[in-house]
Every structure is written in structure tokens, then in C-alpha cells.
């Protein structure tokens, strides 16, 4: 029996035979392609109802894990060895390590990897480390790494605490109305920086194994950290001002002129402890979790302390251990994966009451966050009701996940219809309360957009702010359309104007959470279409034409992570299944099902589909921090192509329309 009883359309028996018959032509009949993809997706659902795919990142995670093992003492040699094996596997033939496949060597990653391998016992004379040494010196040496890497090196005496940006815990004492307080920076940076400020206050040092040193990796043989204003900085500029303030704070730190230190540490500790409740570690993301463990160690928590033990356990849950390697994930993505997988399955024709969808819907409803979090500091009127990205992360629900969950629930019929509708109303209320003054929606909070804070010396991780973005705004508009909102409603009009202001001159939109302009353009167009915008408007036609203009000769679409740094790479890259699906979904939103571009894109997906019904992308198409941290969602190449093929199959049929479907429930929204 097929996994997808209730599928409307393609025969569910014998699709593999039909695929075989058509393999010689290179094109599988569309219904069989959709059925195969759906079968594959349903086979990955967990018994509890959720989907969660591996979330892959760069080797900074494995390197940091080795550093943490040595920081805490008595490192497990088997674990360290497997982490080191993973790092070695990712080294390029030239000797460096990359932020993303196909990218250039990255100085911070390469220094971290080098030091981690030395901690793991790899001798300095090893050919791999000799190659890495040459790459590091060519890129400017250890002084060229980012601030967070320098601080981690300070923990082992490899960099001078006096030469790193000050991160004093007194920042938690600044009142909410202060221009620079912790709620003016993004939630993820806040969760990283508060425990880091505790570490900075103690400035701990661990001795590395004998002979392990980075001394030979400074271009002049020693650290260049001298406290001077960085080169090419205007004397009278905000960057110069913040750098001068940083040097003053560092000087006060050296002289122990910190009268509020005890109070600040107590408040920072309490802040951290409060947010460890209801979460799988601090903010449920790797860097914050790692920093919180080191902060607890600095504060005197013993290994036997239940809180410390639980945080360490949550951290190592992120590990994927195989025979000879151990790799780390930055977090888990079950809510995101479940919402997207269920939505794609429903859009493929699966009955709304199908057991797989019902279980997914009930699991999602159980994950709704009904407690206030950090978002309530700026949104003082909204009631809790959002969803987070991870299994448990109550302090940090986000708009993108919540909108996607609501879209998914709009296509599902749970057994308890009353509970489902109540959950949807509460979620919709929360999203509406999170609309920013500019008409768009940000990810986690409102109005975290003071660009001056990008000049703070420790802001070189490029993630200080959380402004409204086209991709999140587009997804919210798509959700509002599904819930009965019209283009004429005030929230929709403001969001449409935001998107029009944010559109690039060539017709594309920036993608904050996916790579990059293909992603942003796709979800801006889907939102506009769903809310009832006239897709014959010139700006929509310009966006569709941009998508067609960047199509690859093989019929697919692709874009490199490098487009965040180099505008010349915008919309350029090897074809991937996920990005091809996004481009097609953008074209379909504009009503383009018949152009050569659309047909060739669909053909690309059919030709590249694997025998088991799935697609596999080797490249990274997810974005953590633009220019700094990228992701590969292993399920992106499963549910996005299914969604695109299903949309094509359903809406190209004679008389097809983009009707709003809410699975028989009462419409939640109104104009």
C-alpha cells in the first residue's frame, strides 16, 4: 500500500514502473514525479508527526566543539578525534576551509580549524597544517580573524585580552530606553553576547597541550592588536567613536575600574537562567549554547550541577556521530521543516484529514508558544501565540516560522477543529501585532534596526540587527491571503508598499534567510499574488522577467552564497533543486506556466529527480548571517520541488484558479 492514501490525481501503484518506462526519454510523467516525491517525503515523517532534516553548516562548529572540550578539561579523546576527522575531510586541496561549498577560503574558519587540529594532537609538521599555515599567512594572519574568534583564542592564551573588543556585562544594566541596550540588537546576537560578557568579565585562560601555539601564524610574529582606530576609518565617524569607547572600556577593565561589576554579573546570570527555561539550551542555537556553558563554568557551576549538566547534554544532542566522524548542527529545525513539509504534501493533493497531515498539524499546535518572550520588550500589546524554529525555544518565537505554520494549518483538518481554530486565531493575532512601522515584518522582534550599531567593534559577525525583510514580509502576506485578508486591508497595503520600496532596480528582492535574490523574489511574489495584487503590474512583471533572465542553460536556477558579498554574482550559480523550485514558484505566482522558462524549469526538476523520488543538493541554499554563516537544509531539496511541481500541475489545468482554501474552517481573517 502507498504511504499516501488520499492522494488526488496520480496512480499510487506502479509509479516506479512508469518511471522506468520513461527513463530513456529523460522525462518522467508529472503525476508520477509528484507521487514519487510525496512518497519520499512521507517516509521521512517521524511517528510523533514532525519532520526534521539535518542542518549542515561550516566546520567552525566542529572546531568550536574541540575548543569547548579542552576549555572544560579532561577532553574525551574519542570525541575530539572524530571531530578532527570531520575537520580534515573539509579542508580544500589548497589548505583552507570554506564558509560554503565553492566559496573562497575564510580566514577565521581556517585559523579555528588549524588551532582545533593542534588541540586534537595533529603535529605542526603535518602536511595539511603546513598548507593551512600558508593560507593563513596569505590572508593576513591571526590578526585578520573576527572578534569572536579572537576571544575564543584568548581562552587559550593565543591572543591578548587587551586587544579584543570589550564586551562588559554592564551592558545588561542599561535601561530599555537607552540608545544602546541589549534589546536594540538582534535576539540571536543578544543570546550570544550576554553569556560572552560573563566570559569577558572573568577572562579565563586554559593552558593548551605542550607545544600547541599559534605564534607562527601572526604576520609579524606577534599580535598586531594595538588599540588604534582601524585603517580607512574617518576620524570623525561613528566607527571611530565606537572604537574609542571600546578602548576606554578596555582601559577601565585593565585597571579594574568596574564598580558595577558584581551587580552586572548577577543580572547577566539571571537573564541567562530565565531564558534557559523552556528551551533546548540558550536560544536553542549553537553559539549561544556554547557560550552559556562556558559562562556557567566561569560563574562556578560544577559539572554535577543539574543545570550545567543539562546544558552540556543539550549541546551534544546537536552532534551527528558516525563511524569515524562527528559533525555538529547549529540547531534543530523541526517546526520549520514540519510546516513546509506538511504544506507541500497538502498542496500536492493529499487529503486535509490524511493521518500524516493530521499528526503534523496536532504536533505543530502542541508547539505553539503561549508565554511572552524577548519580543514583548518592544511589542507591549501583542498576546503570545507564535512558534519557534526549534523543538523548545519559548523565549524566541519568530514571525517567519509562525506564518509558515499558519499556512500549513490552513491546509490541514485536525480532529479537534475548535482547538485548531483557536490556535490559528492566536497565531494570526501575534503576527499582526508584530508588523513594523515600515510596513514589513522582521524575524524575531520589532524595530531592531539602528544601523549605527553595526559600527560597534564586536559587530563584525554581521548580525547585530533584525530589520524588516522582503522574504518574511512576503510569507506573511501569503499567510494573510490564505486567511481571507484582501489587498485593501490596512496591514496588506502597508506591506505591499514596503515590498515596492525594497525592490531592486532589476526587479529582484533581497533574501535574508535563503540564498539569495532568487529566494527573496520568490516569496515576495508569492505573497503579493496571495493577497490579491494585480500581478500584471509593471513591478511584478519586472520581477518575473529577472527570474527568466538568470535561468541556467540546463533549465534550472542557482545562486551562490557569494552574492551577499559580490553583486556581480547576483542570481548566478550552478542549478540546485531548491533554487529552481523557488524560481518556478515565483514565475507561477505571476501566472507564468506556459513560457519556455517555466517548462524548462519543470523539466529540469523531472530530469534530476532521483530513483527514490527525492532530489539532492550539494550546495548551501540557507542563510544564517549574510557574509558570515550559511546553511544547508537537507530537506529543502525534498519539499520545495514537490511544492513547485504540484503548483504547476494543479494550476496549469483548464479553469484552475488560486482559490483560498481553509479546509472547511471558518475564515479567521477579515478586511
Q: Which residues are catalytic?
A: 400
d(Cα 458, Cα 18) in Å, to the nearest integer?
58
417: left (phi over 0), alpha (psi -120 to 50) or beta: alpha
CA distance linking residue 330 with residue 629, whole number of Å: 10
Q: Answer whether 112's CB lies under 8 Å from 118's CB.
A: no
Query: What are 320's strand-pairing partners?
Result: 327
List Cβ<8 Å contacts ≥24 apart for 298-301: 298/198, 298/199, 298/201, 298/202, 298/204, 299/198, 299/265, 299/269
Q: How many Å apart are CA 471 and CA 105, to the nearest integer?
A: 29
The string of DSSP letters for 74-94 reads S--HHHHHHHHHHHHHT--TT
Distance of CA 288 to the CA centre of its chain: 14
Contact 654, 490 (CB under 8 A): no
Q: How far does CA 498 lie from the centroid of its chain?
A: 23
CA atoms of 73 and 92, how far apart (whole Å): 31
> For 11, what's the count of Cα atoms within 13 Å in the CB-facing half-sphere?
8
Q: How far apart are the first and last CA of the chain?
A: 45
Q: Rounded to an integer, what is the distance from CA 664 to the centroid of its chain?
A: 33
Tell me the residue length of the chain. Answer: 671
| DSSP structure string for 100-136 | STT--B-HHHHHHHHHHHHHTT--TT-HHHHHHHHHH
Rounded-to-integer distance, Cα 433 and Cα 430, Å: 5
Burial of 261 (0-12, 13-18, 19+ CB in 10 A): middle
- DSSP state, residue 49: S
**Residues 578, 636 contacting (CB under 8 angstroms):** yes
What is the rounded radius of gyration, in angstroms, for the C-alpha atoms of the chain?
25
Neighbours of 468 (CB within 10 A): 25
Helix, coil or strand: residue 55: strand
Q: Cα–Cα–Cα angle for 344, 348, 349, nearest 5°?
A: 130
Q: What is the DSSP string of 153-172?
A: HHTTTSS-GGGSPP--GGGG
Amino acid at each position: 500500500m502507498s504511504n499516501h492514501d488520499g492522494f488526488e490525481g496520480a496512480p499510487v501503484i506502479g509509479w516506479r514502473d512508469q518511471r522506468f518506462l520513461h527513463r530513456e526519454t529523460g522525462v518522467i510523467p508529472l503525476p508520477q514525479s509528484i507521487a514519487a516525491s510525496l512518497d519520499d517525503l512521507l517516509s521521512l515523517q517521524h511517528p510523533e508527526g514532525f519532520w526534521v532534516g539535518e542542518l549542515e553548516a561550516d566546520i567552525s562548529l566542529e572546531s568550536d566543539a574541540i575548543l569547548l572540550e579542552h576549555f572544560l578539561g579532561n577532553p574525551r579523546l574519542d570525541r575530539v578525534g572524530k571531530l578532527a576527522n570531520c575537520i580534515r575531510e573539509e579542508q580544500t586541496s589548497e589548505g583552507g576551509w570554506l564558509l560554503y561549498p565553492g566559496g573562497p577560503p575564510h580566514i577565521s574558519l581556517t585559523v579555528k580549524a588549524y588551532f582545533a587540529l593542534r588541540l586534537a594532537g595533529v603535529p605542526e609538521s603535518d602536511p595539511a597544517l603546513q598548507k593551512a599555515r600558508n593560507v593563513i599567512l596569505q590572508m593576513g594572519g591571526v590578526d585578520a580573524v573576527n572578534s569572536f574568534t579572537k576571544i575564543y583564542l584568548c581562552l587559550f592564551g593565543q591572543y591578548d585580552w587587551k586587544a579584543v573588543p570589550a564586551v562588559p556585562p554592564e551592558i545588561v544594566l542599561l535601561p530599555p530606553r537607552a540608545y544602546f541596550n541589549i534589546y536594540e540588537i538582534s535576539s540571536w546576537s543578544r543570546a550570544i553576547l550576554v553569556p560572552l560578557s560573563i566570559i569577558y568579565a572573568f577572562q579565563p585562560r586554559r593552558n593548551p597541550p605542550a607545544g600547541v601555539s599559534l605564534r607562527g601564524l601572526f604576520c609579524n610574529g606577534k599580535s598586531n592588536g594595538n588599540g588604534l582606530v582601524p585603517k580607512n576609518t574617518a576620524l570623525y565617524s561613528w566607527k571611530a567613536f565606537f572604537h574609542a569607547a571600546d578602548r576606554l572600556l578596555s582601559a577601565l577593565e585593565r585597571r579594574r575600574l568596574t564598580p558595577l561589576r558584581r551587580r552586572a554579573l548577577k543580572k547577566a546570570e539571571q537573564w541567562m537562567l530565565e531564558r534557559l527555561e523552556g528551551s533546548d539550551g540558550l536560544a536553542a542555537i549553537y553559539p549561544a549554547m556554547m557560550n552559556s556553558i562556558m559562562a556557567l563554568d566561569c560563574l562556578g557551576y560544577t559539572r554535577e550541577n543539574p543545570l550545567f549538566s543539562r546544558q552540556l547534554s543539550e549541546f551534544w544532542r546537536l552532534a551527528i556521530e558516525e563511524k569515524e566522524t562527528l559533525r555538529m548542527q547549529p540547531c534543530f529545525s523541526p517546526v520549520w521543516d514540519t510546516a513546509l513539509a506538511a504544506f507541500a504534501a497538502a498542496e500536492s493533493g493529499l487529503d486535509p484529514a490524511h493521518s500524516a497531515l493530521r499528526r503534523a498539524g496536532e504536533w505543530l499546535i502542541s508547539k505553539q508558544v503561549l508565554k511572552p518572550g524577548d519580543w514583548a520588550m518592544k511589542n507591549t500589546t501583542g498576546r503570545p501565540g507564535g512558534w519557534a524554529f526549534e523543538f523548545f525555544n519559548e523565549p524566541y518565537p519568530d514571525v517567519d516560522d509562525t506564518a509558515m505554520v499558519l499556512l500549513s494549518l490552513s491546509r490541514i483538518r485536525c480532529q479537534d477543529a475548535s482547538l485548531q481554530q483557536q490556535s490559528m486565531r492566536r497565531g494570526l493575532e501575534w503576527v499582526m501585532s508584530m508588523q513594523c512601522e515600515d510596513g514589513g515584518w522582521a524575524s524575531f522582534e520589532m524595530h531592531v534596526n539602528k544601523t549605527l550599531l553595526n559600527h560597534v567593534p564586536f559587530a563584525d559577525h554581521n548580525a547585530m540587527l533584525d530589520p524588516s525583510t522582503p522574504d518574511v514580509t512576503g510569507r506573511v502576506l501569503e499567510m494573510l491571503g490564505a486567511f481571507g485578508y484582501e489587498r485593501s486591508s490596512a496591514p496588506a497595503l502597508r506591506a505591499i508598499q514596503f515590498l515596492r520600496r525594497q525592490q531592486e532596480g532589476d526587479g529582484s528582492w533581497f533574501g535574508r534567510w535563503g540564498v539569495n535574490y532568487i529566494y527573496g523574489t520568490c516569496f515576495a511574489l508569492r505573497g503579493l499574488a496571495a493577497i490579491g495584487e494585480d500581478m500584471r503590474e509593471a513591478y511584478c512583471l519586472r520581477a518575473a522577467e529577472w527570474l527568466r533572465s538568470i535561468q541556467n542553460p540546463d533549465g534550472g536556477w542557482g545562486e551562490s552564497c557569494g552574492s551577499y558579498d559580490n553583486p556581480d554574482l547576483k542570481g548566478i550559480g550552478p542549478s540546485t533543486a531548491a533554487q529552481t523550485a523557488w524560481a518556478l514558484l515565483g514565475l507561477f505566482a505571476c501566472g507564468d506556466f506556459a513560457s519556455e522558462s517555466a517548462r524548462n524549469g519543470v523539466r529540469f526538476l523531472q530530469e534530476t529527480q532521483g530513483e527514490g523520488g527525492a532530489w539532492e543538493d550539494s550546495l548551501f541554499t540557507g542563510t544564517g548571517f549574510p557574509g558570515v554563516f550559511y546553511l544547508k537544509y537537507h530537506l529543502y531539496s525534498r519539499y520545495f520541488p514537490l511544492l513547485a511541481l504540484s503548483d504547476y500541475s494543479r494550476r496549469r489545468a483548464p479553469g484552475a484558479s488560486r482559490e483560498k482554501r481553509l479546509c472547511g474552517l471558518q475564515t479567521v481573517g477579515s478586511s
